[in-house]
């Protein structure tokens, strides 16, 4: 069973291939993803690495957490599950409006 790791304090020059090579020292790397800003495309300084087994993931945490990599001390820890987001609706939508079945507020056609 694979295990996902959070990798923080990444250098903005680090690539996914750099991380793959680094984490391969502790086992089989399944996936690597550096998170980028959706508007600028620039790295945000953190990412995720998925290791093949929980044992390899634990080994990676022990080996790499706090390790200097490209002039930064990495933060490596088990990734926490992403919080559930409510589906559908507009951003900031709080559900049905008073006076109708989820209608369009106070305006009419």
Residues in Cβ contact with 6 at an 8 Å cutoff, skipping those fewer than 6 apart: 46, 48, 75, 76, 77, 78, 79, 80
Distance CA 10, CA 47 (A): 8
Structural domain harbouring 67: 3-77
Kindly state whether residue 54 falls inside one of the protein's structural domains: yes
Q: What is the pTM of this model?
A: 0.74
- The percent of residues above 90 in pLDDT, for the chain, comes to 71
Predicted confidence at residue 14, as pLDDT, reads: 96
**pLDDT band for position 49 (cuts 50, 70, 90):** very high
What mean pLDDT do residues 42-63 have? 97
Report if residue 103 sits inside a domain: no
The percent of residues in the chain predicted with pLDDT above 70, rounded, is: 78
Q: Is the pLDDT of residue 100 over 80?
A: no
Residue 65 falls within a domain, yes or no? yes
Number of domains in the chain: 1
Please indicate, yes or no, if residue 91 is contained in any of the structural domains: no
pLDDT category at 81 given cuts 50, 70, 90 is confident
Q: What CATH number is given to the structural domain containing 21?
A: 3.30.70.330
In a domain, 36, yes or no: yes
**pLDDT higher than threshold 60 for residue 95:** no
Asked if residue 11 is part of any domain, the answer here is yes
Does the residue 9 lie in any domain?
yes
Do the domain assignments include residue 84?
A: no
State residue 85's pLDDT score. 73
> 45-72 in b/e burial notation, b at 16+ Cβ within 10 A?
eebebbbeeeebbbbbbeebeeeebeeb
Report the pLDDT averaged over residues 63-87: 90
């Amino acid at each position: 069973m694979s295990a996902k790791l959070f990798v923080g304090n990444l250098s903005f020059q680090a690539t996914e291939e750099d991380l793959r090579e680094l984490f391969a020292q502790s086992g089989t790397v399944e996936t690597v993803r550096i998170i980028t800003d959706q508007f600028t495309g620039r790295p945000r300084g953190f990412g995720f690495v998925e290791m093949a087994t929980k044992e390899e993931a634990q080994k990676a945490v022990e080996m790499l957490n706090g390790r200097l990599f490209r002039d930064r001390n990495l933060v490596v820890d088990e990734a926490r599950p992403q919080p559930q987001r409510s589906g559908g609706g507009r951003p900031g939508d709080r559900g049905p409006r008073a006076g109708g079945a989820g209608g369009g507020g106070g305006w009419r056609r």
